[in-house]
Structure 1
Amino acid sequence: MITEKKLITNSNNTNLLNELTQSIKECVSFYFSVAFINYSGLQLLLDSFKEAELNKKKGRIITSTYLNFTEAKALNKIKEFNNIELKVFVTDKEIGFHTKVYIFEYEDFYKVIIGSSNITQSALKSNIEWNLETLSKNDSGFIKDVLKEYNNLWSISEDATTEFIEQYNEFLKSIKKNEKTRNVIYEKQRYIVPNRMQRRAMENLERLRNFGEKKALVIAATGTGKTFMSAFDVKNVNPARLLFIVHREEILKKAKETFETLITNTGTTFGLLTGNHKGKHADYVFSTIQTISRCYEEFDRNEFDYIIYDEAHHATSPSYQTVMNYFEPKFTLGMTATPERSDHSNVFDLFDNNVALEVRLHDALEDELVIPFHYFGITDVEGVDLSDVSIDDIAEVTKRLKLNERVDYIIEKMKFYGYDGEKRKCLGFCASIEHAEYMAAEFNKRGYNSICLHGGHSVEERGKYIGKLEDDQDELEFIFTVDIFNEGVDIPSINSVLMLRPTNSPIIFIQQLGRGLRKHRSKSFLTVLDFIGNHSKVFLIAIALNGSRYYDKESLKVAIATGFANIPGATHIQMDKIAQERILEQIDKENFNSMKYLKEEYFEFKKLNQGRAPLYLLDYLKFDGAPNPVKFIEREKTYLQFVAKVEKDEHLKKLLINDTFESILKELSSKLPLKRSYEFIILKYLLTHEEVTLEIAKREILKLINDVDEDSILHAFEYLNQKYYDSTQLKSKEKLVNYYGGKLVKTDAFKRVLENPEFQKYIEDVLNYGIYRYEKEYKHNYYGVPHFKLYEQYQMIDAALLSNYRKIHTAFRGSGLLANGNDYFLFIDLHKEEDIKESINYKDKFIDQQYFQWQTQNSTSQSSDRGKNIINNKERGINLHLFVRKYKEIDGKIEPYIYIGKGDTVAFEGEKPITVKIKLEHEVPTNLYTEFTKKV
């Protein structure tokens, strides 16, 4: 074999962990020498080491005591493997140790990886690291030198005996105490700066205020720093008086401390207003809702310049409403982890439908606002059979899960994977109270100190046992529970989660996962063990982990096969082979577009909506992991029609008898999900105004988007005026506005419908949902003209709207190449055949992640204007935009295209058709490239 080399980095395209796990699987033996090993990195390699042990592959590992970074816990874990020999190089002040080398022996060659990565989760998955991989023959000079050096290091390193590791561990504990004392020096106010989420929120809040808005809502997952964000914003605004309102007193004291930490040397006074504290005369007052709702009239209505409502989803309750309706501040901020409403009021409405920021789990992981998690999907013990039982039959599911052998199996896996930190602090989520009580009892019998907590326990009892779990000196390690820790209860130091019940809702799965993701000094990652049975809804786990509300069968299958490569940062998701096969088999059988599946999704979500029919699209924005309601719309043309049908709701059916109302709903719903928000922003303004000018429209758009060009606003006016509709559309679609005299004015039909408050509420809901979902997917960025975002989904006709096409838009269909001036839109199907199991077409294909091969229409010659424009696009100023989809149709539904950006022709051949090689402006990310090219 000739010598081969490649660079391995951690990026969207690859990471070192993938290379190591694959190499361990394929090699004959392996030899590592790394300066640092901590448990966060080792846990990611445990299954690979176990498989190597089963296959009798030998390994040697050298690490060091350099800088005291290697963890004794990691050394002890490595020693559990019979196939791996372990030594430790003991450093001193004169000699450091900084090697990072991974050597793999094959039958007739070696693979050597040398670079910057140690065995830590960040080094293996997310840090900026460079590692060079070299393949060389067994007898090459390079390999001889590498093995010689390795063997020399091995000979001068210490055997990692139990005694050695114990002494090292005691040393680490002693210096850790001193380190804590020293670190206090650096906790100074001037070093605290906003993180990315906080900066985005502050910029958006400032923009809203500049346009005269007086209220806004920030939605961000627990632990992402909402309180610090609000303090930073208050510091910038510098109000004379502030009122901060929360639901629970323990949160209040932490909030006050946060503000005092950030706002110093200004002479500002801070006071608590609670049952026990009466600091109402302070400049900045921190109050519980219970106290302020009793004494609010002691203040003037305009007493406070800035009011903050923490846990704003409670703000729909009467006590909050009384306070909100009384005070008249210059600005009001609401903050919540989930905009769930507790009654029929809408939390979005309370803050004038201004969402300054939304940060859900994937965003929080990407911005490193929460810790990474290591998820291990483990096939459940054979004795548990859920294949013939409904997972809603809690009593029967509980009965089948209460097996002693299952408890032993859970403990075995728990011991194998371990956890981060000195003491295990674990939440176990169970199917029922009976199941939780059983698990706690069985764990106690086996010597694991455990307790069962559920909704029947008092707040005091819960607080007592949470305190015991968080106390490093207390023996309590496990809390088994059912529902009370899904949301709202904060135990920052949780380092392990056991999923012990069948997953029947992606929402609950994400809530339970989120309980352990708070940052805490005692942990750097969360260990999640999910015991995957053979029930009929196993595939919901994949939907939850995939992190995208908008999925199809193929993207899910590729995500599973690639270990969910789209998950950001050092988070790691791994399923064993049987669990993978179970899920893939179910996904193959399931039709995600069938009425049966859509009804199941709807009714499962209804349960989480406190059993009430979710009548508004906005209900689906309350929860991370909620269904995509646009699928319901595609089924029945409007969301209300879908609800009326599945609920057999006579009142909704009567509403929809009004043809104009139904037609308006259909017209608006057909534009979801939005690819450009201008039209909906303009229509939302017209709900409460008679007309809108271009100038006013620009002002309203700039409240939500960083910039906008005036020609696109004009095009939006023309489009709303139905200037680019074909004759069929003009007959069938309700006209909402007329455009004349430089402004849009509501039609009489639209005015009449809006006179009915119930009609207006449902129309406003569609507009708000469209705008909020657009903000979630496109943020507040301006994308120019054409208005395309990389790797977003589009249909052919979208290119007409987004490039300001000024002819009939339905002309944009049918052909693989559509043009608007100098913009050429290439719509490419990788599979030409109807059968999705057929091979990918040879001519239109990815050459690699940077180059694409495309074939023109059969009529295109090199000498034609179009041919010249394609061949010499760069010189002729022609923009080639590439849109690609794997399959035209899945489960009876036409699939969207994915925009992979612009490209330039670098080579061509042939005539009628021409085959061109296009270099892409942006290298396609590995997870997307894999989805396009991998067959599962």
Structure 2
Amino acid sequence: MLNKFGATFDTYWNDSTFESYDPARDRDRLDDALAEASGRTSSNRVTISLAGLEVRPRPYQAEMLEEIEVEREVHDRHRNLVVAATGTGKTVIAALDYRRLRDAALKRGEPAPSLLFVAHRREILQQSLRTYREVLADASFGEEYHSGARPERWRHVFASVQALTAYDVTSMPADAFNIVVVDEFHHAAAPTYRRLLNHLQPDELLGLTATPERTDGFDLLSFFGGRTAVELRLWDALSADLLCPFHYFGIADGTQLNELQWKRGRYDERQLEELYTGNDNRSAVVLREVQDKLSDVRTMRALGFCVSVAHAEYMAKTFNEAGIPAQAVSGETSTAVRDQALRDLKDRRVNALFAADLFNEGLDLPEVDTVLFLRPTESPTVFLQQLGRGLRQSDGKPVLTALDFVGHQRKEFRFDLRFRALTGKTRKGLEDQVKQGFPALPSGCQIVLDKVAQEVVLSNLKGQVAGRWQDMIRELRSQGDQDLGTFVHETGVELSDVLRSGRSWTSLRRDAGMPTRDGSSNETVLLRRVRALAHVDDPERAQTYRRLLQDDGPAYDELAPLQRTFARMLFFSLWPNGGGFTSYTDGFRALRQERAVRDELLEVTNFAMDHARHRAIPLTGRLGDLALRVHARYQREEILAALDYANFERRPSTFQSGVLYSEPRNSDAFLVTLVKSEADYSPTTMYRDYAISPSLFHWETQSNTSVSSKVGQRYLNHRDHDTKILIFAREHKLTELGTSPYLFLGPATYTSHTGDRPIAITWQLDRPMPTEMFQAASVVA
């Protein structure tokens, strides 16, 4: 590798200033250090130590890496797509992922896996190679294959798709590379990429893109089993200060869209064009709002997204007549004219470009500071792509102004998807957010709805909740018989839409005329408990639950000890009050009669496992036979059963505390709700529980627990008593599916304490908590 002075290096630089090295921030410092080192040697080849130079993932990157690992290890998926906005470090993610795979191979005594990194531009390949070398602390890693450069060793190759095509990729063995990474994967529709991807059969395929949804109809996700492995959400990127903050204004424009035709999940394009083009009243609203929301339209750099070429041309004409230089561009505009239009916008020779089916992706103009949504965008992905045209950070751009002109929409239009994409909130919480003015946004961001727009959005949100059952019935009828996971994926509904109180997948199928099996008089009660399994995310528990729910499933007495524990966890999940049974055998015998219920429980368990986001880690030592897995999620009933605390005399439904001591396990379990509401907790139970670091957790005892008490002494001296401390945490008490499950943070060890009645104790976790839980638990502090 050549540094900027032309010197080559192949070993390591050791300097404490690089202890928390960030490639994007410290690359120049590394170059300077290398240059200094090369100046101290008479040879052009220098030896520099990077031993203390570790590239550490930022929190959002750590979470993404964990999700990729879960896809592979939990779900056995080895073709994975990473979706993240430009500038958020997709290549760093890929390099860190390779480092983890390499380290695991070396630990097994195997050679480092071979790698092929593919892109379509020389600049991307050179930058990517540099990133890998920095992340791996190996200045000799990788070879380039583009622009005349050819590899010699063919172990770790950074190649252009053009060079591979010229080489004839089909002439190399299909398993030539263990790992293939394809950057800008949205180009995979091109024949050159298709030929490459169809031929190579690596152990791991990783796709990187910022724009997963193409406008030409090509199904990008078909390469990845129809799913995205990991996506950097907008609010995470904003919170990490990777994108420019936005001020979003929802503005009522008075147009009536509720009478337009709705076809295949969107408005009729021709009718939209007729409604908007030549609509002087609406264009006057647009002009007024632009002039009102921006301090000086003459310095504005705006993109306006229109329904058609005619609409774009009409808006450009309207702005020009108002003295605001503007131009219309579309897919029909020549490349040279489009490029010149972008230069004119950058140099402020024009202040607005109005586009039709253009600029959703592929636009690299960070200076864009205003986005005008001049048509309803049904897809939240396309909406975010359009918003993203202005989210790139740029000098002199403190904020992106987004003006969304809201008409009276049909009930099928999904405002909830749009605002969930903007905020990360669940649909249940959106109504309160709209009413309260969106108080919990990332720093610097605002969402402001005028009074009429607020009424329109609230009405739409309520309509999505109130009238959705009949819509789902129609959707299921139109799509035909399918499983629960396929239905949720294809329709975009949420699992809670199907399993909300009083609803079930079984009743939806019956209302839609789909076949279901029969049940008994207990069916209605049990169907209300199906959602209690919507969190199951560890393979052993799911496997046992499935066995027990099969037609030919084993009887309780036939199970091994660990499986019996899982069976008791399932039993109390279905019957928290014991169900009136006197034995588990009787309960499962009764469940055998509920064929429809068992079918639905299987569907929900499969759905939950398919969406598992963490690796479930077995316990070791004295707790090695416990049915709990670290970083898996559990409802209260499962925790009590797993710890041999729940039985027919002490039923889970009677347990109201946040602490318990399991005598059979000699273990204390703490069930922590991080965000406590005054409605659910009294002043004496509003304990301050939060994360200090990924491995340190601050927890408060019950208010009557003193240091001198038996319980207090057991907590503080648990090692002397060989008592295990087990911590379970959840962010909120409730979710859209009802009671929120707890994430098992694992065993913990006493570190320090302060105070008395309550005692504030700092616990050291055996394993660092997952990134998303740490972020939630640290925010509470």
TM-score (norm 2): 0.60
C-alpha distance 788-295 of structure 1, shift in aligned 2 (>3 A) = closer
Which residue matches 2:324? 448
Which residue matches 1:335? 208
Distance apart, 1:674 and its partner CA: 0.8
C-alpha distance 295-477 of structure 1, shift in aligned 2 (>3 A) = farther
CA distance in 2, matches of 1:339, 1:450: 30
Distance apart, 1:723 and its partner CA: 11
Per-residue CA deviation, residues 148-183 of structure 1 (Å, 9 max, x unaligned), is xxxxxxxxxxxxxxxxxxxxxxxxxxxxxxxxxxx9
CA distance in 1, matches of 2:90, 2:484: 27
CA distance in 1, matches of 2:76, 2:348: 50
Q: Is the 8 A contact 2:144 2:157 kept in 1?
A: yes
Secondary structure in 1 matching 2:303: strand
Which residue matches 1:745? none
Distance apart, 1:498 and its partner CA: 1.0
**Does 2:244 correspond to 1:371?**
yes
**Does 2:678 correspond to 1:812?**
no
One-letter identity of the residue aligned with 1:220: V
Structure 1 residue ranges without an equivalent (≥5)? 1-182, 687-710, 737-748, 754-758, 832-839, 853-867, 909-916, 929-936
**Does 2:90 correspond to 1:226?**
yes
C-alpha distance 883-429 of structure 1, shift in aligned 2 (>3 A) = same
- Picking from 412, 434, 437, the partner of 1:560 is 434
CA distance in 1, matches of 2:151, 2:435: 59
One-letter identity of the residue aligned with 1:813: S
Q: Is the 8 A contact 1:426 1:496 kept in 2?
A: yes
Which residue matches 1:571? 445
CA distance in 2, matches of 1:294, 1:666: 59
C-alpha distance 847-734 of structure 1, shift in aligned 2 (>3 A) = same
Which residue matches 2:292? 416
Distance apart, 1:469 and its partner CA: 1.8
C-alpha distance 322-502 of structure 1, shift in aligned 2 (>3 A) = closer
C-alpha distance 415-824 of structure 1, shift in aligned 2 (>3 A) = same
CA distance in 1, matches of 2:473, 2:567: 37
CA distance in 2, matches of 1:788, 1:567: 34
Which residue matches 2:173? 300
C-alpha distance 395-445 of structure 1, shift in aligned 2 (>3 A) = same
CA distance in 1, matches of 2:291, 2:759: 52
Matches within 5 A, 1:828-867: none
Distance apart, 1:774 and its partner CA: 3.6
Q: Is the 8 A contact 1:796 1:827 kept in 2?
A: no
CA distance in 2, matches of 1:562, 1:818: 31
- Picking from 557, 573, 588, the partner of 1:730 is 588
- Picking from 503, 508, 512, the partner of 2:386 is 512
Q: Is the 8 A contact 1:676 1:802 kept in 2?
A: no
C-alpha distance 300-396 of structure 1, shift in aligned 2 (>3 A) = closer
Matches within 5 A, 1:683-722: 715-716=565-566, 719=569
Matches within 5 A, 1:489-500: 491-500=365-374
Which residue matches 2:485? 617
C-alpha distance 306-522 of structure 1, shift in aligned 2 (>3 A) = farther
C-alpha distance 799-184 of structure 1, shift in aligned 2 (>3 A) = closer
**Does 2:312 correspond to 1:436?**
yes
One-letter identity of the residue aligned with 2:301: K
One-letter identity of the residue aligned with 2:85: T
Aligned residues: 625
One-letter identity of the residue aligned with 1:527: T
Distance apart, 1:195 and its partner CA: 3.6
- Picking from 629, 638, 647, the partner of 2:495 is 629
Distance apart, 1:332 and its partner CA: 3.3
Secondary structure in 2 matching 1:244: strand
Structure 2 residue ranges without an equivalent (≥5)? 1-25, 34-52, 103-110, 548-560, 662-667, 690-700, 716-726, 746-752, 764-772, 777-781
CA distance in 2, matches of 1:786, 1:684: 13
One-letter identity of the residue aligned with 2:647: K
Distance apart, 1:257 and its partner CA: 2.8
Distance apart, 1:230 and its partner CA: 1.9
Distance apart, 1:526 and its partner CA: 1.9
Q: Is the 8 A contact 2:706 2:756 kept in 1?
A: no
Which residue matches 1:770? 608
CA distance in 1, matches of 2:463, 2:335: 43
Distance apart, 1:299 and its partner CA: 1.8
TM-score (norm 1): 0.52
Distance apart, 1:255 and its partner CA: 3.6
C-alpha distance 719-435 of structure 1, shift in aligned 2 (>3 A) = same
One-letter identity of the residue aligned with 2:247: H
Which residue matches 1:217? 80
Q: Is the 8 A contact 2:313 2:328 kept in 1?
A: yes
Distance apart, 1:301 and its partner CA: 3.5
Per-residue CA deviation, residues 202-232 of structure 1 (Å, 9 max, x unaligned), is 5676798899979352533222221232245
CA distance in 1, matches of 2:336, 2:642: 54
Which residue matches 1:197? 60
Distance apart, 1:319 and its partner CA: 7.2
CA distance in 1, matches of 2:62, 2:669: 35
Matches within 5 A, 1:84-95: none
Which residue matches 1:135? none
C-alpha distance 233-561 of structure 1, shift in aligned 2 (>3 A) = same
Secondary structure in 1 matching 2:588: helix
Which residue matches 2:711? 877
CA distance in 2, matches of 1:881, 1:304: 42
CA distance in 2, matches of 1:796, 1:209: 29
CA distance in 1, matches of 2:618, 2:760: 25
Per-residue CA deviation, residues 834-890 of structure 1 (Å, 9 max, x unaligned), is xxxxxx97x9656997689xxxxxxxxxxxxxxx988448745389999999999xx
CA distance in 1, matches of 2:316, 2:511: 44
C-alpha distance 277-529 of structure 1, shift in aligned 2 (>3 A) = farther
Mean Cα deviation higher: 225-234 or 843-852? 843-852
CA distance in 2, matches of 1:212, 1:885: 27
Per-residue CA deviation, residues 733-758 of structure 1 (Å, 9 max, x unaligned), is 4699xxxxxxxxxxxx9xxx9xxxxx
